Structure 1
Amino acid sequence: MSTMSQSSAAARAVIVRDKWSGEVIGELPRAGEREIEQALQAAEQARRRPWPARERAAVLQRAVALLEERRTAVLETMRRETGFSRKDVEQEFARAVVTLTLCAQEALRLGGEVVPLDASPGFEQRLALTIRVPVGIVLAITPFNAPLNTVCHKIGPALAAGNAVILKPAELTPLTAALLAQILDEAGLPEGRLQVLYGSGSEVGLRLLRDPRIGFTTFTGSTEVGAIVKRETGLRPVSLELGSVSATIICADADLERAARDVAHAGYRKAGQVCTSVQSLFVHTSVEREFVERLSAQVAALKSGDPADPATEVGPLISESAAARACALVEEALRSGARVLVGGTCTGTLFQPTLLHEVAPPMRITREEIFAPVVSIVRFERLDEAIEAANASRYGLQAGVYTSSLATALELARRLEVGGVIINGTSSTRADGMPYGGMKDSGFGKEGPAYAIREMTVERLVMLGP
């Protein structure tokens, strides 16, 4: 693993602050043109050197062991640079261990297939097969809201496939990624296989996107920036995991206690800064009153405040500008007729867990991603109403459904225009081994090690003949 040279001017350092106290907790060298070019050259040289699958798997497995050894330091770094609660960072850490373990396993499973040729006259004496070869250099651009697990989901499959990787972590939360890179280095990662560059997306990210030596780009972030990624990469392949206004539907026959408990977690974990976080909650009128009472009690019980406090469940938002934007969306909804059941206030970056009622689909809060601890209840009478409202969104990442009817579950699985439909779970339900990705303005491509590793390789046909 290599990071950019420390010779860059200290004045251009990436300064990282504790998101609760504002204290400076780290400085990293900001990449300039010289460092970017050095990283690209090192990656280009590394990708041309043989790296057997067994060695790739061994490095990743050793990294898992080292990550678990450094658990305390990684958790503390992640908590401070994100502002997430202790429970949130512990959950992300546990998921990252699973993700890296799966990547190590996939390095040994990656293979091709035999291709039958007998259907074509004259090919009876020929044999064809496919092999998977690395794309070369993978560029991974990662978001602030999952500085460990999303990084693992991007660089893990890329390394498992035999690529060289250039990682550009979020400027607001790069310290966790730096620790992971150090762990991979100590695990025996060959020289040049991982370069980490720190800086802004508009400078470092854009320069890397335009470089033809990048063979594949994997990006998680906003839809607006995703469009820039696609534009700048031209014909080169990309995987985009973008924004969403995720819906969860509570049907008349739902288990209301279970649904309320799940939504109180999934709508407010990481202070709602999750692309699949429950934002629009469609509730059938026949159970609306009972469900709203149950959910209101659950949300009101959530403790917000200092993430260092073990009792805190909802910490601050990532920045004051993010908080101001969320406040504006809530205030606009209230002017349009929505009602606050719980929360609704914001002090600095601390946005109180908020539950809105009497929300209707025309409101902007049902159309734009809020990325804050806010859940909006939308009532429906006919299932078609909920489906049509959910599908009217320009996004399509995941949706949740609560029902005891198999017929209803199957109908919603077929009709909801999203990348994943979770039955009796919220939109934010995710196992790290499953294929994960969206459609429409939520992007395309799949995460999940077994699926991402295929996207980060080229399927090459080999035909043999006498």
Structure 2
Amino acid sequence: MTTTHEFWLAGRRASGDGDFEVRHSYDGSLVGKVSVPTDAQVEEAVAAATAALPVFAATPAHVRAAALDHVAKRLGERTEEIAQLITAENGKPIKWARGEVGRALSVFRWAAEEARRTNGETMRLDTDPGGVGRFALIRRFPRGVVLGIAPFNFPLNLVAHKVAPAIAVGAPIIIKPAPATPLSALVLGEILAETDLPAGSWSVLPVPNEKMPALVQDDRLPVISFTGSDKVGYQIMDSVPRKHVTLELGGNAAAVVLADYSSEADLEWAATRIAMFSNYQGGQSCISVQRVIADASVYDALAEKVVAKVQAQVTGDPKDDTVDVGPLVDENAAKRVESWVEDAVAKGAKVLTGGTRDGATYAPTVLAELPADAILARAEVFGPVLSLHRVDGVDEAFAAANDSAYGLQAGVFTHDLQTAFRAQRELEVGGVIIGDAPSFRADQMPYGGVKDSGVGREGVKSAMEDLTYEKVMVLTGLDL
């Protein structure tokens, strides 16, 4: 009998009056069914979160930190179980799923540490005569209840990046997981239910996408944290101009390989990292390598190595420990990638390897001579496809990297310290990774983009600041 998974309503299990199926994208097998909240249950969750706000915001730091520590501990204890679930619902290879659980564990651990050391700031005000005897204490308080809308590509870790900072600052949160991958978030709910967090401080509601606008518009949810496509993200922002909205959107990340990165070892490292991180998660990461911009002096040698290493990526059943590249989230996603590659080839691009589809799996693909009018040259492919571009010098390389509507992260392979600082100064992105692919992310560092890649920053401390506002208390009549 197939299990129907209950959802989490104000911290307790609940069932709705309908359900939907979650299927494995590799073989189409049924992973489970998920109960759908009724409109009345959604209203109950929002009302409970609103009522919980003053209580949760006033909880001692040790209570919030202890809950976060507990989640981190339990994620460690249940790593293999949860990793298998991620692979089942998402299709990512099991080795990457295990890594995702480890990262989520770190997010909760960092949040526990930050909850304990968030102390506010003091400021003496007698620097001018009018402030004599006055002293300011500046603390941060939650902006309000958070609506967290999570994507399918990291069904646990990107939920963690919304839940953990909210708990750390005492902000109630309602999580809406992606309909394709709700099971990891529901397991996280199981673990949260083991803590002593106040009733109403969190809910996990697998509501269908068509019901999301009503939640977005609800005035009782003044903070929205969305990760997903730029189209949907900006629709949300435009629809609620007075709300505090954080958007983590798309990218078409560039890996720039400069002339000084020319030794055999250099090119071997660059090619290895580029091949791995254009294909990890099936290319379904906002910071997957999509564009390789190489100086003409290293282009040919690098291209040969990249193609060989992409060809060495193992595709197949994501439950197999040896598999590097699994299926995309569903067959329609693979068909879209296929059509974009066909568009590029019709316009003059050359396929150096890959370019084929088998159901929901798209073969790791390398293109050269990609024309500027191809969809792949401008849009986020969100699949295992990269393109190679030849440039002359640093000026041309950085201009090519910036020639994009997106600006999430970029990787720059160089040994030159001056060039590294120039890259940070000139590249129009939220993060510059020197000596590695743009796909590196430490979960405690600020993470986010510019241009069409979104607004605001994640990373535990940055997200905690984003979910709160500064409030000043001035003490008067003090002998300082």
Partner of residue 84, structure 1: 92
Partner of residue 412, structure 1: 423
1:369 to 357, 372, 380: 380
Where 1:377 maps in the other structure, the secondary structure is strand
Partner of residue 159, structure 1: 167
Partner letter of residue 247 of structure 1?
A
Q: Is the 8 A contact 2:420 2:434 kept in 1?
A: yes
Partner of residue 190, structure 1: 198
Partner letter of residue 305 of structure 1?
G
Partner of residue 122, structure 1: 130
Q: Is the 8 A contact 1:329 1:364 kept in 2?
A: yes
CA displacement at 1:6 relative to structure 2: 4.5
CA displacement at 1:2 relative to structure 2: 2.7
Partner letter of residue 89 of structure 1?
A
CA displacement at 1:9 relative to structure 2: 2.1
Partner of residue 112, structure 1: 120
Partner letter of residue 251 of structure 1?
L
CA displacement at 1:5 relative to structure 2: 7.2
After superposition, the Cα gap between the structure-2 partners of 1:463 and 1:358, relative to the gap in structure 1 and judged at 3 Å, is: same
Partner of residue 33, structure 1: 39
1:424-451 deviation per Cα after TM superposition (whole angstroms, max 9, x unaligned): 0111111111100001110011111111
2:451 to 425, 431, 440: 440
After superposition, the Cα gap between the structure-2 partners of 1:294 and 1:450, relative to the gap in structure 1 and judged at 3 Å, is: same
Gaps of 5+ in 2: 1-7
CA distance in 2, matches of 1:100, 1:398: 24
Gaps of 5+ in 1: none
CA distance in 1, matches of 2:372, 2:475: 59
Structure 1 segment 130-209 matched on structure 2, within 5 A: 130-203=138-211, 205-209=212-216
CA displacement at 1:63 relative to structure 2: 1.1
1:255-277 deviation per Cα after TM superposition (whole angstroms, max 9, x unaligned): 21110111111110000000000
CA displacement at 1:128 relative to structure 2: 1.2
Partner letter of residue 297 of structure 1?
A
Partner of residue 308, structure 2: 297
After superposition, the Cα gap between the structure-2 partners of 1:113 and 1:5, relative to the gap in structure 1 and judged at 3 Å, is: closer
CA displacement at 1:163 relative to structure 2: 0.9
CA distance in 2, matches of 1:360, 1:256: 25
Partner of residue 101, structure 2: 93
Structure 1 segment 4-83 matched on structure 2, within 5 A: 6=14, 8-10=16-18, 13-49=19-55, 50-83=58-91
1:100-132 deviation per Cα after TM superposition (whole angstroms, max 9, x unaligned): 100111111212212332344422111112111
1:132-166 deviation per Cα after TM superposition (whole angstroms, max 9, x unaligned): 11222111100000011111111100010011110
Partner letter of residue 137 of structure 1?
V
CA distance in 1, matches of 2:82, 2:269: 32
Alignment of 1:401 with 2:412, yes or no, is yes
Partner letter of residue 316 of structure 1?
P
After superposition, the Cα gap between the structure-2 partners of 1:360 and 1:378, relative to the gap in structure 1 and judged at 3 Å, is: farther
1:5-43 deviation per Cα after TM superposition (whole angstroms, max 9, x unaligned): 745323xx1321112121221222223321111001111
- Paired residue total: 463
Greater Cα shift, 28-37 or 455-464: 28-37
CA distance in 2, matches of 1:329, 1:121: 67
Partner letter of residue 330 of structure 2?
S
Partner of residue 237, structure 1: 244
Percent identity, please.
Answer: 41
CA distance in 1, matches of 2:210, 2:380: 22
CA distance in 1, matches of 2:15, 2:320: 38
Where 1:276 maps in the other structure, the secondary structure is coil
Where 1:375 maps in the other structure, the secondary structure is strand
CA distance in 2, matches of 1:7, 1:71: 26
Partner of residue 248, structure 1: 255
Q: Is the 8 A contact 2:79 2:98 kept in 1?
A: no
Where 1:190 maps in the other structure, the secondary structure is coil
CA distance in 2, matches of 1:183, 1:107: 19
Partner letter of residue 341 of structure 2?
V
Where 1:309 maps in the other structure, the secondary structure is coil
Greater Cα shift, 63-72 or 75-84: 63-72
CA distance in 1, matches of 2:95, 2:352: 25
TM-align CA RMSD? 1.5
1:45-75 deviation per Cα after TM superposition (whole angstroms, max 9, x unaligned): 2112131111000011011111111122211
Alignment of 1:385 with 2:396, yes or no, is yes
CA distance in 2, matches of 1:122, 1:370: 59
Alignment of 1:315 with 2:326, yes or no, is yes
Task: Report the TM-score, using the length of structure 2 for normalisation.
Answer: 0.94
CA distance in 1, matches of 2:300, 2:403: 26
Where 2:386 maps in the other structure, the secondary structure is strand
Task: Report the TM-score, using the length of structure 1 for normalisation.
Answer: 0.96
